[in-house]
Amino acid sequence: MKVIIVGCGRLGSELATRLFRRGHEVSVIDNIAAAFHTLPPNFHGRLIEGDALNQDVLIRAGIGDADALAAVTSSDSLNLVIGHIARTMYEVPNVIARNYGPNCRVLFEIFGLQVISSSSWGAQRVEEMISHSDVRTVFSAGNGEVEIYELAVPEGWNGHRLDSLMNELSTPVAVTRAGRAFLPSSDTLLETDDVVTISATFEGIEEIHRRVKQPAEEA
């Protein structure tokens, strides 16, 4: 796979290294030559010094037949513009843009770009860890709008139906009992120490967390 990475900061350097080690053909663009020093000595991808908004720079990086482009500079506006150019002018199949300021994220969505918002995602993860120490996040989709959680069933919910724990912003995925997982139905009866895997929004898991903290009869 041919991948272009725009921005060779900490994220760009780590991403370029990981992709190169997996055997992909990687081109890295940065307007500061010293930025390439963050790459390991055994990195043998293509390094292009220059402004990624310059058409010649993008062509030298191989955008004409690139399979993916990641715009991960420290500038939201630059990432947005480069991502839009790659997607609309050069029809790069897979374009990902990094977003810093949460207030700018809606612009990336308007332009139809896949966006990684480290500030929003990181803040949500810290909030979850503070609020739900007994709920473990195992997978995050998008920028955390929907996540997969694992919840251990407390004694107070033993013998109660799974659907009485769920809400409209959550969906049960699996129940693990005595080390064996199975697909539950709405009338599955919970047992103490079952591990319930749940797909939910943050608001959905908040409500589940509220319910599980009180006896099932009162939830």
Buried b (16+ CB within 10 A) or exposed e, 52-89: beeeebbeebbbeebebbbbbbeebebbbbbbbbbbee
Interhelix angle for 118-131 vs 202-212, to 10°? 0
- Residues of the chain with pLDDT below 50 are none
- Report whether 188 contacts 175 (CB < 8 A): yes
Q: What is the pLDDT of residues 139-157, one digit of tens each?
A: 888 777 899 999 989 888 9
For residue 69, the model assigns a pLDDT of 96
Amino acid type, 3: V
For residue 27, the model assigns a pLDDT of 97
One CATH from 3.40.50.300, 3.40.50.720, 1.10.3720.10, 3.40.50.11060 for 2-119: 3.40.50.720
The domains of the chain are located at 2-119, 128-218
User: Same fold for the domain at 2-119 and the one at 128-218?
Assistant: no
One CATH from 3.40.630.10, 3.40.50.12280, 3.40.50.2000, 3.30.70.1450 for 128-218: 3.30.70.1450
For residue 115, the model assigns a pLDDT of 82
For residue 54, the model assigns a pLDDT of 94
Secondary structure, 3-state, 59-89: HHCCHHHCCEEEECCCCHHHHHHHHHHHHHC
- Report whether 166 contacts 135 (CB < 8 A): no
